[in-house]
Amino acid sequence: METRSLVGTERMDTKIISGSERKGHKRKLADTSLGLVAADGPNNHLILDVRNQIEVLKGCTSWREADRVAARRAAHSLAELAKHEEHVETIVDEGAVDALVPHLCAPLVEEGGGPISCEHEVEKDAAFALGLLAVKPEHQRLIADAGALPLLVSLLVRKVCASNARVVNGVVRRAADAITNLAHENANIKSRVRTEGGIPPLVELLESTDTKVQRAAAGALRTLAFKNEANKNQIVEKNALPTLIFMLRSEDVGIHYEAVGVIGNLVHSSVNIKKEVLNAGALQPVIGLLSSRCQESQREAALLLGQFATTDPECKVHIVQRGAVRPLIRMLEAQDPQLREMAAFALGRLAQNTHNQAGIVHDGGLRPLLELLDSKNGSLQHNAAFALYGLADNEDNVSDIVKEGGVQRLQDGDLIVQASKDCVQKTLKRLEEKIHGRVLKHLLYLMRSNEKVVQRRVACTLAHLCTPDDQRSIFIEHNGMDVLLEMLLAFSLPKLQRDGALALHRLATKANNSSPLDTTPQPPTPQVYLGEQYVNNNTLSDVTFLVEGKRFYAHRIALLASSDAFRAMFDGGYREKEAKDIEIPNISWKVFELMMRCIYTGAVEVLTDVAQDLLRAADQYLLEGLKRLCELTIAKDLTVENVANVYDLAEAYHAISKLDRADHSGDSRLSASNFETTGLCASNFETTATPVQILLKTILNQEVPYAV
């Protein structure tokens, strides 16, 4: 039997004599077994046994009873041996095919002779044995070239009467099974079966009163229809569709499974046949199979519905109206991954309709589809991703996707196939385009929810997907920033903390990218600097600092002009006022030298490796311009991993400047004087805000003046 693929609308073949179907053949044979046991001894015993049976078949070709009984036993023995795939090559190599094929037809009876003993029995066992030997393409070709096909077709038309119904049905069934195996994945033999006239009798056998014959005939037609347009057309022309559709409603699992398989292969890549199948009334019984107790039938039905959904827009609506969505959603949570995949495939095609999109989410399809993204099966992931892409097209679904954590799942998914990754990116883009107007208002409403999980999911989603124009409203006026900061403090929940950090990082990036870069010359500043030549120069030095045991020469006038901290130190009541040497115990020489260079020149290069230590020193000595330089360097190096550390740093040292696009500056040597006019309008924020809240909220505040 040939079944359809589990990826997209492609199909693939699986031989009925291997895997589960080979087990089915063993079970069928047990019903008519003569009790012979296959040779399990060494290989030479197998060869001897095979040769003996072949000799019997070649020598016993007459109609007489002794020959017929012997031929039947020999054919049956070879079939028993051929059940073991490791024996097949040996059986074929010893010449069993040429010995078996002549026994597919009854021998001629001499005038006055008869009746033929074991009538139909020898042919049945010969057909069965040949079907089991057709496991390789070269075996299939060998059997066909030996003349088996016309003989097998002739067996299909043997007439049944009351006295011989059991045995004739048996030989017909074995002949249909043999044709199935011979034609499996063999385009040439599929066409030869048609030219030998095999399709019309197989279509007639669909109406057999014997259910095993029905199944065998449907299985053969299923294989013959696979990727063979001429065979498909002839099957339809011979009026197989009405009977196949009746079979879909059968209580017999085997019958409706084979019937849905035939129809599936008929409609595959055949638009016209697909329309004929729908016009013949197949839609409702196929939907009914979604609730079959047979998972294979469910899987085939889901795949077929996915293909029906591509016929025309109205068909998508009809499938949903007739009740397909809920059983498909139940299938998404089945244990069988192929069943889940086909359900996702069908829902993905149905989700190309606006009303269907809302209905699938309403009936509970969103959560299991999101969970399928975590599957380790690439095809399953892709079908789920495609279905979610469809659901994201409806504005009514956006808030549900956000509430379920859909954006985070889409971003975090470990997708196997590049096509799935591309589909997810398109889905996120589609969601981003819809976050405005009533959708945004609904999300802001949800962010006021009492459920922390919902608050966090909404805030993170908006951080990633909202437009720059909406950032201030969302994260300042509607307190979205507070939600993200709370996540950042969740030290016991690394995943939650990382999501918050990622959202804050995204906000910072978007704000930086949206902030215009001011490249106009800076206005002159009244500040006067002593100059580079006086840095750590004892000329006219009147104060010395001891840093890491070394002397650093300085000038009080330069220090007094630089900050209130030094003015308090030298003009106030502190002991440093009269001291000649002042010890600096908590700052390294490198950092102290950079700080003094900034004081003397108004400019300094702040590198990433010293930025945080230099920020601490600048905060200690109230050097606001230098703090801004340090904050810019830190902002340039802001990543998801270090957002929490920057948070702590800002909290400790009151770093409240705007995170600017320092990485776009052509020169990393920035003037401290550029930041003297940089400030924050208190009216822009709540007076109760902490320094770190101000730091992060200024990411979004477009009213704060700044300079580069």
Q: Which of 309, 414, 413 is nearest to 360 (CA)?
A: 309
Q: What H or E segment, with its residue span, contains residue 214?
A: helix 211-225
The confidence score (pLDDT) of residue 82 equals 93
Quote the pLDDT of residue 684: 34
432-467 per-position pLDDT tens digit: 999 999 999 999 999 998 999 999 999 999 999 999
C-beta separation of 180 from 22 below 8 A: no
Kindly state the average pLDDT of the residues 606-631: 88
Q: Is the pLDDT of residue 670 over 70?
A: no
Q: Which CATH class is domain 532-658?
A: alpha beta
Pairwise CA distance, residues 459 & 477, whole Å: 13
If you count them, how many residues does the chain have? 708
Give the chain's largest Cα–Cα span. 144
Distances (CA, A) of 295 to 218, 290, 298, 301: 18, 9, 5, 10
Question: Where exactly are the structural domains of the chain?
Answer: 43-107+117-196, 435-514, 532-658
pLDDT of residue 110: 64
pLDDT in tens, 270-292: 899 999 999 999 999 999 999 99
How much is the mean pLDDT over the chain? Answer: 82
How would residue 129 be classed by pLDDT, with cut points 50, 70 and 90? Answer: very high
The model's pLDDT over 59-106, given as tens digits with 9 standing for 90+, comes to 988 888 888 999 999 999 999 999 999 999 999 999 999 999 999 998
Nearest to 161 by CA among 113, 211, 223, 209: 209
Look at strands 581-584 and 669-671 and give their pairing. Answer: unpaired
> Where residue 20 falls among pLDDT bands split at 50, 70, 90?
very low
Q: What is the pLDDT of residue 702?
A: 36
Average pLDDT over residues 396-424: 94
CATH of domain 43-107+117-196: 1.25.10.10
Share of the chain above pLDDT 70, in %: 80
DSSP reduced 3-state for 51? helix
User: pLDDT tens digits, residue range 483-538?
Assistant: 998 888 887 888 898 888 888 888 877 776 665 444 344 444 456 688 889 999 98
Please report, as a single letter, which amino acid is at residue 369.
L
Q: What single-letter DSSP state applies at residue 588?
A: -
What confidence score (pLDDT) does residue 241 get? 97
Q: What is the pLDDT of residues 564-617, one digit of tens each?
A: 888 888 776 565 566 778 888 889 999 999 999 999 988 888 998 999 899 989
Q: Is the dihedral of CA 192, 193, 196, 200 positive or negative?
A: negative
pLDDT at 112: 61
197: left (phi over 0), alpha (psi -120 to 50) or beta: left
CB 518 within 8 A of CB 707: yes
Cβ 277 vs Cβ 241: under 8 Å: yes
Q: Flag whether pLDDT at 398 surpasses 70.
A: yes
Per-residue model confidence (pLDDT) at position 659: 38
Higher local confidence (pLDDT), 560 or 441: 441
Whole-number Å distance between alpha carbons of 211 and 124: 17
**Can you tell me the distance from the alpha carbon of 23 to that of 589, in angstroms, rounded to the nearest whole number?**
82
Task: Give the DSSP per-residue string, 96-152.
Answer: HHHHHGGGGSPPPPPTT--PPTTTTHHHHHHHHHHHHHTTSHHHHHHHHHTTHHHHH
Topology match between the domains 43-107+117-196 and 532-658: no
Q: Are 92 and 135 in contact (CB under 8 A)?
A: no
Alpha carbons 556 and 566: distance in angstroms, whole number? 8
| Type and span of the H or E element at 43 | helix 43-59
Strand partners, 551: 546
